[in-house]
Amino acid sequence: MVIVEGDAGRGSGFITKMDGKTYVVTNAHVVRGNTKVTFKTMSNQPLTTGPLEIAESADLVRADVSEAPDALDILKNIEDATKIGEAVVVMGNSEGEGVVRELEGRVVGIGPDRVEVDAPFVPGNSGSPILLKASGEVIGVATYLLIPRALQEQGKGDAGAAKAPLVTSLNEVRRFGFRLDVVDKWLAPEPDRLVREGLKLADIELATEVIMAAAQDVVLNPGARTSESYMPRARMQASPALSSLGVAINDFSSSYKNSATRLEKIAAANVLFQKLRDAAAADVKGFKPEHFSGCNGGFFRKNLDKRKRIYQQMEEIKAEFNLFVSRPVAAPVPAAAPAMPAPAPAAGDYTIIPGQGPFMLRSSKVNSGGNEAVVSEVVRFEIFATGRENYCWVVQLDGKVINRYKLTSGRLAVPTPRAGDYKVFVAKKSADGRTLTISSTVVTFTATGNPNSINIRSLY
């Protein structure tokens, strides 16, 4: 067993023989983000190693060792030599505390490039060998956890990336290790390049986590946290992208606390959401997976996919904070057209949709001549929404619920059957669907006149 130490964290490793040489092996994500990495034996003796090599696709690195203690053997043809249910042991530096523990479990799955076990390895075990208990041979390298939606607050990621519950149920946390017997290509880039790539990727991963957490906090705890509660000051000072992100978070915290009205708070949140979206694109602009060595390219691709999901989730969060995307109404054409008039709007029905800030709610029709006429008989209005499970739109008329709609993505057209005071709000349904808990009010208005002309009375 080997303990891996870097200036940014700790992990595990082990010594084995591959391709006629002796190597120390660990995960690529264990060394990623460190400017210097050392390998020590359990007797606290440093190992003299050669340059790091990185696997082409698996999350693995290795370095040759000139003088090393006994090496572990790698089991070949695991799919034929191993059975589901066989006992395994994962040995490693649990939670990076510098103490090796043996975690027992069984093989629960075998794939073409990885194995799945139920031994409860945790942060710090990344890079640990997964050993068959009967023979002591290596069948994989403990690498990552998959945590289901029910436990998503614990995070999803590398075994060394997040605190994970010590559970063994396959229905809760799944644990995987990459096989060594099928890795047929190792790359040996310049050492400085691996360091630069690792630092860049570590910053990208941290920025991804901060962007999502900061967006969620706009709803859960707006303005309460500053940048240093998301990331260390030293990391911000060393990275322009993280520094810019920190400034945006601090500006929002200050603006939100100093906002006198709800509309001012919404405006502050809008500014932050836009800066978060900008940040999600800025630090990856110009980079492609092929710009990185081996499995680092795959890690970069995963972060790109996460950034794409952030855009979608950001819209859901904005909807929960009563922010909606606005669609402009066709502008009326002046009676006295200028010498070079602007193109007339197309004929059809246009509805102003609630958006950011004060607005009027009305319906208008543009005739074939390009002139707009306001229609007094407004029979419905539209709002943009993003679907959320177990949530729905609820419409009240004069304090009584008259309609309930599923909260789906896209527009919601709400009829206004008669004059009166209307209120539309988002509500969360109970498990049995019988109880509604109001989450946020979207808009209140009064329908008056003939009989469904609508005038906005208030927004919130």
Q: What is the pLDDT of residues 202-245, one digit of tens each?
A: 999 999 999 988 988 887 788 889 999 999 999 899 899 999 99
**Bridge partners of residue 110, in order along the sequence:** 115
Q: What is the predicted pLDDT for the residue at 263? A: 77
Distance, CA of 21 to CA of 66 (rounded, Å): 9
Q: What is the torsional sign of CA 96, 102, 103, 109?
A: positive
Cis previous bond, 451, omega within 30: yes
137, 72 contact by CB (below 8 A): yes
End-to-end CA distance of the chain: 62
Q: Cα(287)–Cα(398) distance, rounded to whole angstroms?
A: 56
Q: What are phi and psi of 37, to 5 degrees?
A: -130, 135
What average pLDDT does the segment 245-251 reach?
95
CA dihedral 154, 296, 241, 218 (to 10 degrees): -20
Q: What is the dihedral of CA 261, 264, 265, 270, to 10 degrees?
A: 160
Pairwise CA distance, residues 26 & 49, whole Å: 13
Q: How many CA atoms lie within 13 A of 407 on its CB side?
A: 23
More confident residue, 151 or 116: 116
Range in 161-165, 180-184, 280-284, 384-388 the model is least confident about: 161-165
Token duo for residue 331? 């502008």
Confidence of residue 191 (pLDDT cuts 50, 70, 90): confident
Place of tokens 């005739």: 367
Range name among 91-105, 260-274, 397-411 with the lowest pLDDT average:
397-411
**Residue partners of 449: CB distance under 8 A and separation at least 6:** 376, 419
Structure confidence at residue 366 (pLDDT): 41
What's residue 212's pLDDT?
87
Q: Are 9 and 160 in contact (CB under 8 A)?
A: yes
The whole-angstrom separation of Cα 8 and Cα 25 is: 18
Locate the domains of the chain by residue range. 2-186, 189-320, 348-458
Does 155 have pLDDT greater than 80?
A: no
Closest CA to 277 of 235, 311, 308, 226: 311
Alpha helices in 120-261 (DSSP H): 191-220, 233-238, 240-257
% of the chain with per-residue pLDDT over 70: 68
The bridge status of strand 436-448 relative to strand 157-158 is: unpaired
Q: How long is the chain? A: 460
**In 3D, which of 148, 152, 175, 127 has the Cα closest to residue 9?**
127
Rounded distance, CA 245 to CA 283, Å? 11
- The pair of three-digit structure tokens given for residue 17, joined into one six-digit string: 């023989």
Q: Which fold has domain 2-186?
A: Thrombin, subunit H (2.40.10)
Give tens-digit pLDDT for 370-383: 444 433 333 344 44
> Phi and psi dihedrals of 447, rounded to 5?
-95, 125
**Residue where the block lists tokens 């990623």:** 32
Structure tokens at 323: 């922010």
Give the model's confidence band at 432: pLDDT under 50 very low, under 70 low, under 90 confident, else very high.
low
